[in-house]
Structure 1
Amino acid sequence: MEPVLDRFLPPRGYYLALGLEGSANKLGVGIVKHYKGQLSADNRAEVLANVRDTFNAPPGEGFLPRDVAKHHRNWFVRLVKKALEEANVKPEDLDCICFTQGPGMGAPLQSVVVGARTIASLWSKPLVGVNHCVGHIEMGREITGADNPVVLYVSGGNTQVIAYSAQRYRIFGETLDIAVGNCLDRFARVLKISNEPSPGYNIEQLAKQGKKYVQLPYTVKGMDLSMSGILAFIEEQAQDIDQKDFTAADLCYSLQETLFAMLVEITERAMAHVNSSQVLVVGGVGCNERLQEMMGVMARDRGGSVFATDERFCIDNGIMIAHAGLLGYRTGERTPYEKSVCTQRFRTDEVWVKWRA
């Protein structure tokens, strides 16, 4: 059954949506324009504004939900005004307000939901709640032009291998404990690596200096993987590192190589299962050049290709929420005020993807 688009097409012939993302330490506001018709390679969505501000904790520390929520409340109005100005759009021009409904950190999510409800009420606009993971996937598909890829979703809070089937994004494999981004971030704290611009990025740069591979546990369990034991092991190796025959850079290099090899393995297995030749890497860790390189080698060996975006779109942002929310809006999706609540647990495969055939 083909999805029904454009049943609410405005007289001007296009849609405008404002998206609000705040599931973790980044507050993002984006404005996107969709034109009438199918979103094909010749008729892309247009990004009008994509602004963001990040809460960073001191080196060696993680961010607490209450501190992140305070950051989001402080920056909410400023970023919304900046996005409207950058897009040259007025509130009355918008068709809907889209917001991250989950998954994510409770307090930051709640701060953004309250802000979304407030401006939707002030401007008399409908709300559309968006699954954070689906937002990443749809933004990745839109930017790269990937047709029907196996998706590797890797971020600070999520690690999943996903493929589309029958209007759902099906999870083929996932982490059994912590996410790959969380594993990297927590090891960065052990080494007292700066959180600016992000701990994962700084580990990536340090790993480029590594020359010696330190053997680490390799824990793939069918289509799933586990990373808490690897983290505990490498944290122990990092103690008294000045007295070891390897460096902090060697440990960063070894951690990346091990984790990414695990991710490549389960992704390749999913590709074989669904007979796909495309891989789309999304989420904050998807910016990692070494992960993209390793995934590219595997995909080419299978006669396929890998797709990824840069930091504008792989790191949490408001435009992905605006885009995915507008896809839902165009097929009749609305989130009533009484149901505009957030949840820390909102699985990717719970979403009915009405806009895909």
Structure 2
Amino acid sequence: MIAIGLEGSANKIGVGIIKHDEDGTVTVLANPRKTYITPPGQGFLPRDTAAHHREHAVGLVRAALKEAGIKPRDVDCICFTKGPGMGAPLVSVAIVARSLSLLWNKPIIAVNHCIGHIEMGRMITGAQNPVILYVSGGNTQVIAYAERRYRIFGETIDIAVGNCLDRFARILNLPNDPSPGYNIEQGAKKGKNFIELPYTVKGMDVSFSGILSFIETMAHQKLSSGECTPEDLCFSLQETLFAMLVEITERAMAHVGSSEVLIVGGVGCNERLQEMMGQMVAQRGGHLFATDER
């Protein structure tokens, strides 16, 4: 079976084509994408993001078919992100998927964004039954599979960790190219002084809005007086946020008796998060699996 999938839940639009053989082997045939990048200090609005996706959707479908070396007649089904995500961009991509379904006379399948991340991670890494840390711009959840369902064991009670990082990048006026979180990660590597920030773990849940408010005030005060550098703040924020995520992930591992952890989502590409999580998992005699920029 060959499936083509369209994803556009945030500022990236991507078109993927996979081949699923009878022996269970899954091969990625194509994976082009376009990212809507705004000027430094600005986020991306749903309306503008949707317009970006509409502009690039057809070109990406053509590029994916060419990269995979197939024709529309070879496609068996068309998948699209149903949600969660930003409404206007999701609708834009759904309309493209429905149009292709009618044009090519192929069945259409709606995919849950979160489950898509998890299954993609399992496919790429080979993880069997892991505790999943799903961290992105709009989601922060600790998930495990139990009784034929993915169950949420812990999550953020306000904003997602990626949203926290993105908004802090705007405070520092960091570029959005290739992403705010990536530029914070590079700045954190140069940070030398750790500044204590609020650490808010409530059972299996976490809270990031208070940390963001605190570090915003601190940035205005300490940067102007020269008491610390932007790199110090990036370092301190990363270490605090990721320590919280490692804590609730370890608690979930103990609860379900798992020895595997899989990190998925955009923030999961952060090498420091992978390093911290890897140290915790190693101490428990387990294995860490993580996805990359693909």
Q: Normalising by structure 1, what TM-score? A: 0.81
SS at match of 1:109: helix
Identify which of 237, 244, 247 aligns with 1:262.
Answer: 244
C-alpha distance in structure 1 between counterparts of 2:147 and 2:97, whole Å: 31
2:253 alignment partner in structure 1: 271
2:231 alignment partner in structure 1: 249
2:31 alignment partner in structure 1: 50
C-alpha distance in structure 2 between counterparts of 1:174 and 1:58, whole Å: 30
1:92 alignment partner in structure 2: 73
Q: Which has the higher contact order (CA 8 A, sep 6+)?
A: 1
**What pairs with 1:22-101 in structure 2 (closer than 5 Å)?**
22-37=8-23, 39=24, 44-101=25-82
Following TM superposition, by how much is the alpha carbon of 1:136 offset from its aligned partner in structure 2, in angstroms?
Answer: 0.5
**TM-superposition CA deviations, 1:66-112 (whole Å, max 9, x none):** 00000000000000000000001111111100000000000000000
Q: CA RMSD in A?
A: 0.7
Following TM superposition, by how much is the alpha carbon of 1:242 offset from its aligned partner in structure 2, in angstroms?
Answer: 3.0
**What pairs with 1:229-308 in structure 2 (closer than 5 Å)?**
229-240=210-221, 241-308=223-290
C-alpha distance in structure 2 between counterparts of 1:84 and 1:290, whole Å: 36
**What pairs with 1:79-158 in structure 2 (closer than 5 Å)?**
79-158=60-139
SS at match of 2:92: helix
Counterpart code for 1:95: D
C-alpha distance in structure 1 between counterparts of 2:26 and 2:204, whole Å: 34
C-alpha distance in structure 2 between counterparts of 1:309 and 1:22, whole Å: 19
SS at match of 1:137: helix
SS at match of 1:238: helix
**TM-superposition CA deviations, 1:2-58 (whole Å, max 9, x none):** xxxxxxxxxxxxx00000000000000000000114x3xxxx300100000000110
Stretch of structure 1 that moved more, 241-250 or 185-194: 241-250
Following TM superposition, by how much is the alpha carbon of 1:245 offset from its aligned partner in structure 2, in angstroms?
Answer: 1.4
Gaps of 5+ in 1: 1-14, 313-357
Following TM superposition, by how much is the alpha carbon of 1:244 offset from its aligned partner in structure 2, in angstroms?
Answer: 3.6
C-alpha distance in structure 2 between counterparts of 1:77 and 1:142, whole Å: 27
C-alpha distance in structure 1 between counterparts of 2:42 and 2:220, whole Å: 17
Gaps of 5+ in 2: none
C-alpha distance in structure 2 between counterparts of 1:279 and 1:272, whole Å: 12
Point out 4+ residue stretches in structure 1 off by more than 4 angstroms: none
SS at match of 1:311: coil
SS at match of 1:196: coil
2:200 alignment partner in structure 1: 219
C-alpha distance in structure 1 between counterparts of 2:99 and 2:291, whole Å: 32
1:6 alignment partner in structure 2: none
Counterpart code for 1:71: H
**TM-superposition CA deviations, 1:108-128 (whole Å, max 9, x none):** 000000110001000000000
Q: Normalising by structure 2, what TM-score? A: 0.99
C-alpha distance in structure 1 between counterparts of 2:79 and 2:60, whole Å: 15
1:190 alignment partner in structure 2: 171
C-alpha distance in structure 2 between counterparts of 1:244 and 1:106, whole Å: 42
SS at match of 2:228: coil
C-alpha distance in structure 1 between counterparts of 2:123 and 2:225, whole Å: 49
Q: Report how many residues are paired.
A: 293
Counterpart code for 1:26: K
C-alpha distance in structure 2 between counterparts of 1:253 and 1:278, whole Å: 27
1:336 alignment partner in structure 2: none
